[in-house]
């Protein structure tokens, strides 16, 4: 018999997190009469026992709000957690402390909302005997256990809007405009926003580019009377002879590498080869902020309700998943095994190539 559940949001924030919290809290409290405890700032609050108990009004008025009312962190790994000992920072496995916090509060199971880092820890908690259900979140859409994560479509919407705006200024100034988007090692945001926004070149991590071929595409357009070009580049894109461009390394983060800077790198190269004035926009965290679009609000609500139903059926150790248009669940073990990347010869790349988009290959 479930009486109390815990919930946390981990990893980078993304639009739709509050919509999931709302769906979980409303279903758990009003449909089933359970109590809901939310841990603050992802696994940090779980380890440090910082939490809030959802009151009847806490899940109201948050459906359209960006971010997460619980807070989040993408640098706290409960299995390798930074603590201070004798004035020095040391890293310790604090997972037992977190499990004890849940036990002391009488929490019967945890609903953990996150991307692959957060859900890998959820899997490890499950292996240690904690009852968990995972909910897939990330603007990157790189989780292999689900067709879509919530937040992704909002990020694509934001990036598409940016491309639309870049078009008019690119055309007026006869420039090459480069838009660098997020996505880590997957090119989903670049590919979808690039197609939706009518980009001329899309560079994704899955298709290493040759800068000369990118320049050729731009020159071809110029010769055809099109004196501007739009290039969308994923932060994880790399050239045929190069590595990814790293902006910083955050030592205590479960995934320490932060990508960024490829936009400026290719801008210099394109300007040098083509002689066309080139400018860069790095969209950055705008892609993670703000209101979720209706698609993500609906998906988040479906995920949140489904997570509670899974708990009610005692189906633990699973992650909610969208397959086609059906909400289902997959074992956490499988869900975090590998990331989902863009198939280089998949339908989206093929249709983009058919209409003349260059991938630098
Ligand atoms: O995983 C989400 C994401 O926004 C990635 O697309 C990006 O590489 C990373 O997080 C940025 O992390 P941070 O918020 O630490 O800069």
Is the predicted pLDDT of residue 352 greater than 90, yes or no? yes
CA 69 to chain centre: 18
CB-CB neighbours of 240 under 10 Å: 13
pLDDT at 118 > cutoff 90: yes
CA 142/CA 117 separation, integer angstroms? 11
Residue found under tokens 């908690």: 125
Is the pLDDT assigned to residue 255 strictly greater than 90? no
Atom of ligand 1 nearest to the CA of 140: 6
pLDDT tens digit string along 123-146?
999 999 999 999 999 999 999 999
CA 313, CA 197: separation in Å to the nearest integer?
Answer: 43
Ligand 1 pocket check for 15: Cβ under 6 Å: no
Average pLDDT in the 11-31 region? Answer: 98
CB count in 10 Å sphere of residue 273: 15
Query: What are the distances in angstroms from CA 88 to CA 91, 92, 94, 95, 249?
Result: 10, 12, 17, 20, 20
| Ligand 1 geometric centre to CA of 317 (Å) | 26
Look at ligand 1, atom 8, and give the residue with the nearest C-alpha: 184
| Residues 187/155, Cβ–Cβ less than 8 Å | no
For residue 254, pLDDT over 90 is answered with: no
CA of 76 from ligand 1 middle (Å) equals 14
Written as six digits, the tokens of 12 are 């980078």
Over residues 149-192, the pLDDT tens digits come to: 999 999 999 999 999 999 999 999 999 999 999 999 999 999 99
**Where exactly are the structural domains of the chain?**
4-150+292-335, 154-289
- Answer yes or no: is the C-beta of 140 below 6 A from any ligand 1 atom: yes
Q: Is the pLDDT of residue 273 over 90?
A: yes
**Residue 200 annotated to the active site:** no
- 348 token code pair: 């989206």
CA distance 223 to 200: 14
For ligand 1, say whether the CB of 245 is within 6 Å of any of its atoms: no
| Cα–ligand 1 centroid distance for 185 (angstroms) | 11
User: Residue 253: is its pLDDT beyond 90?
Assistant: no
- Atom of ligand 1 lying closest to residue 284 CA: 4
Nearest to 233 by CA among 269, 268, 204, 209: 204
- C-alpha–C-alpha distance, residues 307 and 132, integer Å: 10
Output the pTM of the full model: 0.97
Ligand 1 atom at shortest distance from the alpha carbon of 258: 8
For residue 220, the model assigns a pLDDT of 97
Evaluate: CB of 74 within 6 angstroms of ligand 1: yes
Percent of the chain with pLDDT over 90: 97
CA 284 from chain centre, in angstroms, equals 12
* Spatial separation of the C-alpha atoms in residues 63 and 195, rounded to whole Å: 29
Q: What is the DSSP string of 191-245?
A: HHHHHHHT-SEEE-TTS-B-HHHHHHHHHHHHHTT---EEEEEETT--BTT--PP
Give the Å distance between the CA of 258 and the centre of ligand 1.
7
Q: Which residues, in sequence order, are CB contacts of 314 under 8 Å at separation 6+?
A: none
The number of residues making up the chain comes to: 361
Residue 192 in contact with ligand 1 by CB distance below 6 A = no
Average pLDDT score over the chain? 97
* pLDDT over threshold 90, residue 360: yes
**Atom of ligand 1 minimally distant from the CA of 288:** 4
Mutate to test the pocket of ligand 1, among 9, 10, 11, 12 (most ligand atoms within 8 A of CB): 12
Per-residue pLDDT of 195-244, as tens digits, reads 999 999 999 999 999 999 999 999 999 999 999 999 999 999 999 998 89
1 — pLDDT class (breaks 50, 70, 90): confident
> What six digits make up the tokens of 279?
């400018």
Residue 317, phi-psi category: left (phi > 0), alpha (psi -120 to 50), beta (remainder): left
Average pLDDT on 35-54 reads 98
Is 154-289 the same fold as 4-150+292-335?
yes
Q: Could you tell me what percent of the chain has a pLDDT over 70?
A: 100
Dihedral sign of CA atoms 168, 171, 175, 178 in order: positive
Backbone angles phi, psi at 178, to 5 degrees: -110, 130
Check pLDDT > 90 for residue 104: yes
- Asked if 21 and 69 count as a contact pair (C-beta separation under 8 A), the reply is yes
Pick the CATH number of 154-289 from 3.40.50.460, 3.40.50.300, 2.40.10.10, 3.40.30.10: 3.40.50.460
Quote the ligand 1 centre to 239 CA distance (angstroms): 21
The answer on pLDDT for 252 being more than 90 is no
- The tokens for 189 are 């945001």
What is the model's pLDDT at position 340? 97
How far, in Å, is the centroid of ligand 1 from the Cα of 260?
10
Q: Is 3.30.497.10 the CATH number for 4-150+292-335?
A: no
From the alpha carbon of 259, which atom of ligand 1 is closest?
Answer: 8
pLDDT at 2: 87
């Amino acid at each position: 018999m479930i009486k109390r559940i815990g919930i946390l949001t981990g990893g980078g924030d993304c639009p739709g997190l509050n919509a999931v919290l709302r769906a979980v809290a409303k279903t758990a409290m009003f449909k089933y009469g359970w109590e809901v405890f939310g841990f603050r700032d992802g696994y940090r609050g779980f380890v440090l026992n910082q939490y809030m108990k959802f009151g009847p009004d806490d899940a109201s008025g948050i459906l359209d709000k960006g971010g997460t009312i619980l807070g989040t962190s993408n640098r706290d790994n409960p299995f390798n957690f930074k603590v201070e000992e004798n004035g020095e920072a040391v890293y310790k496995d604090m997972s037992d402390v977190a499990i004890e916090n849940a036990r002391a509060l009488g929490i019967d199971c945890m609903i953990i909302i996150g991307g692959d880092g957060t859900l890998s820890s959820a899997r490890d908690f499950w292996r240690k005997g904690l009852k968990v259900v995972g909910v897939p979140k990330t603007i990157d859409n790189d989780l292999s256990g689900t067709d879509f994560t919530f937040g992704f479509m909002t990020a694509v919407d934001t990036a598409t809007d940016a491309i639309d705006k870049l078009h008019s200024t690119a055309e007026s100034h006869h420039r090459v405009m480069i838009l660098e988007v997020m996505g880590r090692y997957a090119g989903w945001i670049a590919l979808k926003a690039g197609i939706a926004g009518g980009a001329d070149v899309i560079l994704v991590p899955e298709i290493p580019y040759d800068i000369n071929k990118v320049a050729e595409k731009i020159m071809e357009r110029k010769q055809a009377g099109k004196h501007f070009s739009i290039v969308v580049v994923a932060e994880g894109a790399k050239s045929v002879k190069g590595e990814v461009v790293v902006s910083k390394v955050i030592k205590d983060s479960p995934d320490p590498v932060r990508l960024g800077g490829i936009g400026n790198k290719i801008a210099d190269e394109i300007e040098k080869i083509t002689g066309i004035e080139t400018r860069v926009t790095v969209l950055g965290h705008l892609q993670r902020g703000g209101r979720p679009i209706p698609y993500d609000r609906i998906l988040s609500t479906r995920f949140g309700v489904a997570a509670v139903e899974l708990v009610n059926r005692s189906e633990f150790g699973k992650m909610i998943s969208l397959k086609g248009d059906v909400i289902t669940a997959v074992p956490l073990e499988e869900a975090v095994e590998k990331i989902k990347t863009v198939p280089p010869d998949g339908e989206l790349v093929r249709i983009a190539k058919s209409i003349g988009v260059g991938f630098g290959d």
